[in-house]
Structure 1
Amino acid sequence: MRILLTGSSGWLGQTLGPRLRALGHQVTGLDPRPSPLTQVVGSIADRDLVRRAVAEAGAEAIIHGGALHKPDIEAFSRQAFIDVNVAGTLNLLEEAAAQGVGRFVMTSTTSLMISKAIRAGAAGGARRAAWLDETMAPEPRNIYGVSKFAAENLCRLIYLEHGLPIVVLRTARFFPEADDMAHAIAQSDDNTKANELLFRRLTVADAAEAHVAALDKAPALGFDVFIVSATPPFAPDDAEALIADAPSVVARYFPAYRELYARRGWTMFQSIDRIYDPGHAARRLGFACRTSFADVLAALERGETLSLGYPPVIFPRR
């Protein structure tokens, strides 16, 4: 299949592009940053460039992973987020519809589901961890979330107007930057990321595989939105205890974790404020992440630290 991949120089693109090529697809990368994985250098906010890129690639599918992300908030204006994440997505969608592209996959984010109240967690008076699935009404708390939610709604609109099969993947965290959470483990970013696999993280390799699955299933699905995150071990009945005493809940599911963490000098978050439920993706998309918190513990048992599968090269940010 001939695929136009936006964000080809980014963290996801560095894994997804080679994976698609290994499956036999012909991939044209589009990204503002030059890299060996990018054939078209430019912004999706440029409608003429998008039109040419779709046409010259002979695109049968578009995977739209390019965007300004949460870490970009400090460096870019709100208008830039609208130009790239909203207008840029509209450019891709309308050109896909106009040029007969057969399927469209968009990378979105679970971040748009997190209101200020959810983020505040126990410190804000929450008595239960928020159990989050696709049925909840998003309340974006920053321009990144607002822009991605708007892009999701544009996807829905183009599907309704043109019948273009579109799958939206709300991916949890897989970026390599250090965590900005108030309860991040300052001494060890590996520790923080390992903890997050319990409730709001996945590896970049799993994120790439989710896009492969969405590309395959898009025509049969028509339109759908999926949360993509490592499968949590918890049940909704754990929500109160997760806010009050997360280490005890984790110990119920993984009795050996305390000893394994102690060997490494790691700690568990005292409180977990939300759980992303990827059950809809498992049921309808047929996808579940391969890597989970159990794999972290298995690596610690071997005296190793689990590699979260980041690409070997991170091309410089703009």
Structure 2
Amino acid sequence: MRVLLTGSSGWLGRFLAPRLRAAGHMVTGLDVAAGADTDVIGSVADRPLVDRLFGERGIEAVIHAGALHKPDIVRYPNQAFVDVNTSGTLNLLEAAVAAKASRFVFTSTTSLMISTAIREGRGDAAMWIDETMAPLEPRNIYGVTKLAAEQLCGLIHAEHGLPIVILRTARFFPEDDDTHAEPSGENMKANELLHRRLTVHDAAAAHLAALERAPAIGFGTFIVSATTPFARDETTALKRDAPAVIARHFPDAAALYAKAGWTLPASIDRVYDSALADRVLGFRCKTSFGDVLAALRDGRPLPAEHDPSYISPKE
């Protein structure tokens, strides 16, 4: 297929574009910044450019991975988030309908599911987060505009029948957390594979699965995160004493962490459940917390990509 990939110079795009080509697709990369996989420099907020690309390139499918993200809040005004994340998504959706594209994959975020109360860890139990959670109360402009974009996807599907798959991806950024300095980057990423992270390789693979399955699904929203070892009935214990719960699932985790000079999370406030993606999308992340422990045992490189010097190409 002739696929338009937005965000082609970004962290996900640099892994996704080669996989799309390896699968036999012809990729047109669109990004505001130059990159190895970017053919056209421009913004999804530029409707004439979007329309021209569909006409000139014969676009048959869209993977819309370009966006302003949470760390961009300190660099861009609210209006920029509306223009790019919401209006830009509508531009692509309407262009896809006009071009009679066969499918549309939208890269969304679990962040839009996290209210201020969840973010602050209120309550006596970890929040079990799946696609049925409601109401959704995004805590910042990033989440608000991504949720609005999801709703536009639903509207366009209902009105025009365009097959759309929305992937609410958990964390897969390589840089350090922009709000927490402890534990260290690699330690934190390893911990998050228990309940709120995936690797960029799994994120790319999920998009290929969504591209393939979109026509059969019609419309679907899926959380994509490494498979958690935890169960719903462990949420109170996870909030109270996470190391004890982890020990039940991974008896040697504490010793392996101690040898590495790492710390296990004392408390876990949320767990992302990706079971629906497994059942309906037919996708499960390859990498999990168990792979981290295996790497520590064997002295191999860690599976979660960590690059504290990473800067978005657009910056």
Query: What corresponds to 2:58 in structure 1?
Result: 58
Structure 1 residue ranges, 4+ long, deviating more than 3 angstroms after superposition: none
Matched residues in 2 for 1:85 and 1:306: separation? 33
Matched residues in 2 for 1:102 and 1:57: separation? 15
The two structures have a TM-score, normalised by structure 2, of: 0.96
AA in 2 matched with 1:21: R
Q: Does structure 1 residue 127 correspond to structure 2 residue 154?
A: no
Among 259, 263, 267, the residue aligned to 2:259:
263
The two structures have a TM-score, normalised by structure 1, of: 0.96
Query: What corresponds to 1:295 in structure 2?
Result: 291
Query: Is contact 2:34–2:313 with CA below 8 Å preserved after alignment?
Result: no
Query: What corresponds to 2:100 in structure 1?
Result: 100
Matched residues in 1 for 2:204 and 2:188: separation? 22
Matched residues in 1 for 2:279 and 2:64: separation? 23
Query: What corresponds to 1:225 in structure 2?
Result: 221
Give per-residue Cα distances to partners, 1:182-221, cap 9 Å, x unaligned. 5x534x2100000000000000000000000000000000
Query: Is contact 1:11–1:314 with CA below 8 Å preserved after alignment?
Result: no
Among 282, 293, 297, the residue aligned to 1:286:
282
Query: What corresponds to 1:189 in structure 2?
Result: 185
**5+ residue gaps, structure 2:** none
The residue matched to 2:120 in structure 1 has which SS? helix
AA in 2 matched with 1:4: L
Q: How does 1:1-318 map to 2 (within 5 A)?
A: 1-121=1-121, 124=122, 126-137=123-134, 138-180=136-178, 182=180, 185-186=182-183, 188-309=184-305, 316-318=313-315
Query: Is contact 1:10–1:314 with CA below 8 Å preserved after alignment?
Result: no
Query: Is contact 1:11–1:310 with CA below 8 Å preserved after alignment?
Result: no
- State the identity as a percent: 64
- The count of corresponding residues between Structure 1 and Structure 2 is 313
Give per-residue Cα distances to partners, 1:235-289, cap 9 Å, x unaligned. 0010001111111111110000011001000001111000000000000000000
The structural deviation recorded for 1:41 is 0.4
Matched residues in 1 for 2:208 and 2:46: separation? 27
Matched residues in 1 for 2:131 and 2:151: separation? 14
The structural deviation recorded for 1:305 is 3.8
Matched residues in 2 for 1:185 and 1:105: separation? 35
Query: Is contact 1:203–1:310 with CA below 8 Å preserved after alignment?
Result: no
Query: Is contact 1:35–1:315 with CA below 8 Å preserved after alignment?
Result: no
How has the CA–CA distance of structure 1 residues 314 and 54 changed in structure 2, closer, same or farther, with 3 Å as cutoff?
Answer: farther
Query: Is contact 2:287–2:303 with CA below 8 Å preserved after alignment?
Result: no
